[in-house]
Chain A
């Protein structure tokens, strides 16, 4: 069977577009659904302020939807993109772009649902803190979107950068690996960031006087939780921009693909774990602000230990890229 290169590139673009939007829709839908579920709880607790709760839910859902709109943008660009010089390498890059965006939007979509949900419940508990809670919710949700933005950047680079004279073997696997590394690693960081942001909204509603400390520790915790996705981004960049010597051996291609898989899956757990550590710290700072310093230290130590598995994954990925 003789298939034209142009057809292969088109197929890759359609499959990539499908993967980008299909997977990209999962996270935002779950996040928005969770927000709505907690908004119901909030309204049943305090029906008098249902209007304010609806308003917070609407604004929270609008921001939570951003991750799936990133996916929509990449999917539409993939479906309608024109490739002037179609090559098999371009087909691999396009497929990698779809994978990066599709997986990358899952964590951020789910994660941004948490602060919105907790803000709705918090407003029902403490209506006077509505403005402060909404601000904190929006800051937390915006930081949750960072891994999805990283994924979109990698997807756009894979789609539009001309990688020129790179050899098909084994570079095709490097591009797919780049998509997998970024997309999968973004899941944990997006979700983990949401756990921290959700806990901070709950904390502020319980003890509004601690808002400044809670928001600061939330931001520090979220920043550390993003590390796993930054490792994923780093491995993606190396896979995209390092030139690999031509090799017909399948093992060379598989080493590069495995490097992406290793960093991608290896980044999920640490991202979520770091988010849990940050969420715990933020939750208890709100109850015991006098010991904020101790709680933050414990959070950072816990996050550093939890981060070690992502570092192991990155080391193995780098060995697969540079040594094997």
Chain B
């Protein structure tokens, strides 16, 4: 499952780097709740993406009945996990809710952004 690991590593590390940079910019600009909310949302987006990839091979190596329950549990668990940053941001004023919402879409934004960049600058991507 090396290609899955590589994909996870690529997008997870990019998401965390982007979150830290954007979060730091917000914090240095005096918008601490925005920065903290964004980093919080991104952390959970990355955890969700890693869990998604890690549970894929596990689903394949079980019997049909077990796979069904395992998949159901994995989905419920991942959705419950994605609710955590939102609830934390709503309950605690140190985290901005809107920034946390943007954060939980960080992986999706990066996946789409990566491929849009490939269309815009195909030659540059090939050289890299």
A-contact 0/1 string along B56-99, CB 8 Å cutoff: 11000000000000000001000100110011001100000100
Cβ–Cβ contact A69 & B105, under 8 A: yes
Cβ–Cβ contact A58 & B90, under 8 A: no
CA distance A65 to B97 in the complex (A): 20
A-contact 0/1 string along B92-119, CB 8 Å cutoff: 0000010001001101100110011011
- A residues 237-269 near B (Cβ < 8 Å) are none
- A62-B107 in contact given A52-B3, A76-B90 (Cβ < 8 Å): yes
A165 within 8 A of B: no
- A54-B4 in contact given A61-B52, A62-B107, A135-B118 (Cβ < 8 Å): yes
Cβ–Cβ contact B105 & A66, under 8 A: yes
CA distance A62 to B119 in the complex (A): 20
Q: Which residue of A lies closest to B84 (CB)?
A: A76
Cβ–Cβ contact A80 & B91, under 8 A: yes
**Which chain B residues lie closer than 8 Å to A55 at the CB level?**
3-4, 6-7
A72 within 8 A of B: yes
**Which chain A residues lie closer than 8 Å to B115 at the CB level?**
134-135, 138-139
A77 within 8 A of B: yes
CA distance A138 to B107 in the complex (A): 13
Cβ–Cβ contact B90 & A138, under 8 A: no
B28 within 8 A of A: no
- A59-B87 in contact given A69-B82, A77-B97 (Cβ < 8 Å): no
- A72-B82 in contact given A58-B7, A80-B87 (Cβ < 8 Å): yes
CA distance A256 to B92 in the complex (A): 39
Interface centre among A61, A63, A69, by most chain B C-beta atoms within 10 angstroms, is: A69
> How far does the Cβ of A225 sit from chain B's closest Cβ, in whole Å?
20
A166 within 8 A of B: no
> How far does the Cβ of A42 sit from chain B's closest Cβ, in whole Å?
13
Residue from the list B3, B52, B57, B86 in contact with A62, Cβ < 8 A: B52
The prevalent SS among residues of B at the interface is: helix
Q: Which residue of A lies closest to B83 (CB)?
A: A76
Cβ–Cβ contact A62 & B75, under 8 A: no
Cβ–Cβ contact A77 & B86, under 8 A: yes
> How far does the Cβ of B15 sit from chain A's closest Cβ, in whole Å?
11
Cβ–Cβ contact B101 & A73, under 8 A: yes
- A72-B79 in contact given A54-B4, A57-B56 (Cβ < 8 Å): yes
> How far does the Cβ of B43 sit from chain A's closest Cβ, in whole Å?
15
Cβ–Cβ contact A76 & B86, under 8 A: yes
Cβ–Cβ contact A62 & B49, under 8 A: yes
- A73-B86 in contact given A57-B56, A58-B56 (Cβ < 8 Å): yes
> How far does the Cβ of A43 sit from chain B's closest Cβ, in whole Å?
9
A29 within 8 A of B: yes
- A residues 142-156 near B (Cβ < 8 Å) are 142
Cβ–Cβ contact A69 & B104, under 8 A: yes
B1 within 8 A of A: yes
**Which chain B residues lie closer than 8 Å to A164 at the CB level?**
none
> How far does the Cβ of A112 sit from chain B's closest Cβ, in whole Å?
11
CA distance A131 to B112 in the complex (A): 13
CA distance A261 to B72 in the complex (A): 33
A51 within 8 A of B: yes
Cβ–Cβ contact B1 & A54, under 8 A: yes
Q: B: which residues have CB within 8 A of A? A: 1-4, 6-8, 49, 52-53, 56-57, 75, 79, 82-83, 86-87, 90-91, 97, 101, 104-105, 107-108, 111-112, 115-116, 118-119
Closest 3 CB pairs of A and B: A51-B3, A76-B86, A55-B3
30 A-B pairs in the complex with CB atoms less than 8 angstroms apart: A29-B75, A51-B3, A51-B4, A54-B1, A55-B3, A55-B4, A55-B7, A58-B4, A58-B7, A58-B8, A58-B53, A58-B56, A59-B7, A61-B52, A62-B111, A63-B111, A63-B112, A66-B108, A68-B79, A69-B82, A69-B105, A72-B79, A72-B82, A73-B86, A73-B101, A73-B104, A76-B90, A77-B86, A134-B115, A138-B111
